[in-house]
Amino acid sequence: MAHPAQLGFQDAASPVMEELLCFHDHALMIVFLISTLVLYIIIAMVSTKLTNKFILDSQEIEIVWTVLPAIILILIALPSLRILYLMDEINDPHVTIKAVGHQWYWSYEYTDYENLEFDSYMVPTQDLTPGGFRLLETDHRMVVPKESPIRILVSAEDVLHSWAVPSLGIKMDAVPGRLNQTAFIVSRPGVFYGQCSEICGANHSFMPIVVEAVPLEFFENWSSAMLEDA
């Protein structure tokens, strides 16, 4: 999960996020090489008064500084497009969950189960149990089976929200009157935290998202218990 002064990504918990991390490293290496080149050119320019002093027209340099950025852009764009299409794929989901954003909480509907729906409110700081994370824990977690394709339908009741879980590589806008869909596979059991990522009003910071990935057997136990409670 996130920690103070974090600059990079969180650990990946889904195949898509692994790909995103790889792409991030790839882009960073290109940025590093560009920075090195620019730094070298700056040093070269300021350390001598004689470099290219009388150049008025140079076709060679024009070609270099046109072709080189084009190659760099292609090197970034191709892997980026690959991941973009990878993220769009929704193959035979085992579970479909509808996440609806409200001011200011999330509600979840497991459409494959009858009446399995609940609201997920943030746990206030004074009610946190020891070890609980401030502004991140919810009273009801969204429980999903691990290593199963999950489809998530995202919408909103009132204003724009955004359902985002960085470890799973998901950020999907929740728009009133519109149903957006995305899919993910959680590759390991665990609890993954996210927050609303679209300014939605006064308590925008206080509607966290908690996804708990468990083995299928435990998921069935949880869903049965939830249905009994309903």
Partner 1 sequence: MTEEDGKTQGMKVLGILDIHNTPCAREAILHGAAGSVAAGLLHFLATSRVKRSFDVGVAGFMITTLGSWFYCRYNNAKLRFQQRIIQEGLKNKVFYEGTDLDPTLKKTGDK
Q: Tell me whether residue 198 is annotated as binding.
A: yes
**Cβ count near 173 (within 10 Å):** 17
Task: Tell me the per-residue interface mask from 46 to 75 with partner 1, x by CB under 8 A, - otherwise.
Answer: --x---------------------------
Residue of the chain from 36, 52, 58, 205 that contacts partner 1 (CB under 8 A): 36
Is position 14 an interface residue for partner 1 (rule: CB under 8 A)?
Answer: no
Is position 22 an interface residue for partner 1 (rule: CB under 8 A)?
Answer: yes
Residue of the chain from 14, 16, 20, 32 that contacts partner 1 (CB under 8 A): 32
Least separation in angstroms between residue 33's CB and partner 1 is 5
Q: Tell me whether residue 204 is annotated as binding.
A: yes
Return the number of the residue (29 or 61) whose C-beta is nearest partner 1: 29
Q: Tell me whether residue 24 is annotated as binding.
A: no
Residue of the chain from 21, 90, 135, 191 that contacts partner 1 (CB under 8 A): 21
Is position 28 an interface residue for partner 1 (rule: CB under 8 A)?
Answer: yes
Instruction: Detail the residues annotated as belonging to a binding site.
Output: 161, 196, 198, 200, 204, 207
